Amino acid sequence: MSTTHPGSAEALSTTLLGLDAHLIHVRATVEGSTSFQILGLPELHARETRIRVRSALQQVGVDVQGTNITIRLSPEELPRSGALDLPIAVAVLGALGRVSLEALKNTVVLGELALTGAAHPVRGVLPALHGAVTQGMTAAIVPKQNAREAASVYGMRTLVVEHLDDLVRHLGAGVPLECAGEVPPFQPSSSTVDMADIRGMHAARRALEIAAAGGHNLLLIGPPGAGKTVLARRLAGILPPLTQDEAFEVTAIHSVAGLLPPEVGIIGTRPFRAPHHTVSAVGLVGGGDPVRPGEVSLAHHGVLFLDELLEFRGDVLEALQQPFTEGRVTICRARQRVTFPARTLFVGAMNPCPCGYRGDHSGRCTCSPERVKSYVARPRSSLFDRFDMRIFLQPVDVAEQMGEKRGEPSNDVQKRVVAARALQADRQGRGHEVRTNAQLTPKALVRFATLGSTGARLMAEAATNLRLSTPDVNRVLRVARTIADLGGSNAVRGFHVAEALCGVGLPSSVAAEAGAELNIAE
């Protein structure tokens, strides 16, 4: 913007609340005195910003010692971080009459400055510029290291700077700035790990496919070396490829978290996050000052894997209730309420007993029944009820793993998953948000997972004989609906229900009964 009156100038920038961008007016007023005030930033951030901006201005030949400079950031009610160095420096230069800000009409300026005047990258450029476009901005100036990210925003002409001097010469002498480039075409990319690496383990592979097709949370239970981590890491690769909108959300979250590499414009693969069991609640769901997304949001549209599930603190697991119920995380602070998306496929893994070998045919388990009972009865979050599927893994057959025959590749499995997801979308109608089978409400299950006579009889007998709760029955129906979709069947038949009963974590007797029913015909 242009100077509003002698000794005053204004530049535009943005601040983020979660992924929502808000315009910030940065107004500099210059008078005679010896102070440098920044109104609207917390004092710690303001002090650091003053030091960086004053030093950077000296690097371009502007000494503000002995000058009274007041920076006002508005709207005042919006919280801000200290990464407004570049727009503050620009506003000061305009107020001093060193440059004209006419060229910055409808332009937002983002960037932090080093003491040398070098422009350092900032977090959240992608959502910041996207939000600026929706608010009528047509151009932006960002540090060069943010160029690839900034170039991915449609409707925005973005210029890049490496040093404050670049901007001084551009605004003062008309020296053109380098353009961030054209918006590259979006192309989803494949996972670097492949299901073909998994030999044998047919039941576990089938469980992964069902989980991916219906969006079902999965609990893997087995001894050390049973392949729990290997399986979990390959789940993201058989999920449907990211859409462009999904990729934008994933990239925006990683950018805000400061985890987007400079050479990456848009993330094309579904994320896989595996935090250690010592992670804090803030690390898992987000928080801090300024508020940053946690692991569950970083896994948005991908897979969150919690290994050694019983080792996580109970309060940490309880913090996951909101994201798994609502698909988002809301973090409340004194002056702000920040929301991050968090719709993820949740995979947990645990040993069956303290030593890990209960159920192993080698007989290595040394745990007494009392010790096993105490282990399983550790303080457990109600989050355990969120698993639609619970799979018991046996130790890997070494001979089979060493064989030459590889498993089915991820691309082939992914095709069946995509086809099953398409059936779910067609069934629900494409005029509204499509829910995966795992998200179907009890009312929707009645409509979309109606059982035939054999399936209804099998379900009724299992519910009666095993005292299944209503949530248990709904889990079986959701998984059965997905199994039917993978088979291309509109109807949920008896053998779909039987296979579902084998995989929802019911007692082993149920699995045995269901397995005996696998050959029944509708």
The dihedral through the CA atoms of 254, 255, 257, 261 has a sign that is: positive
Cα 433 vs. chain centroid, distance in angstroms?
19
Residue-wise pLDDT tens digits, 329-350? 998 876 778 999 999 999 999 9
Q: What is the pLDDT of residue 81?
A: 63
- The owner of tokens 């009724």 is 460
66 token code pair: 């002995």
Give the DSSP letter string of 383-451: GGGG-SEEEEPPPP-HHHHTSSPPPPPHHHHHHHHHHHHHHHHHHH-TTSPPPPGGG--HHHHHHH--B
Q: Report whether pLDDT(159) > 60.
A: yes
147 close to 180: Cβ distance less than 8 angstroms: yes
515 close to 489: Cβ distance less than 8 angstroms: no
Percentage of the chain lying above the pLDDT 70 cut: 90
Give every CB contact of residue 401 below 8 A, 6+ residues apart in sequence. 199, 200
Q: Report whether pLDDT(6) > 80.
A: no
Q: What is the pLDDT of residue 34?
A: 66
Q: What is the pLDDT of residue 377?
A: 67
Q: What is the pLDDT of residue 358?
A: 80
Q: 508 or 209, which is more confident?
A: 209
At residue 303 the predicted structure's pLDDT band, cuts being 50, 70 and 90, is very high
Q: 218 - beta bridge partners? A: 347, 389
Burial of 61 (0-12, 13-18, 19+ CB in 10 A): exposed
**From 3-12, 35-44, 396-405, the region with the lowest mean pLDDT:** 396-405
Q: 318 or 466, which is more confident?
A: 318
SS3 label, residue 39: strand
Read off the pTM.
0.89
Q: Tell me the average pLDDT of the chain.
A: 87
Q: Alpha helices of 151-201 — where are they, by DSSP H? A: 164-173
* Start-to-end CA span in the chain (Å): 73
Q: Report whether pLDDT(236) > 80.
A: yes
**From 12-16, 200-204, 249-253, 394-398, the region with the lowest mean pLDDT:** 394-398
Q: Report whether pLDDT(5) > 70.
A: no
**From 126-135, 465-474, 503-512, the region with the lowest mean pLDDT:** 503-512
39 token code pair: 């109104």
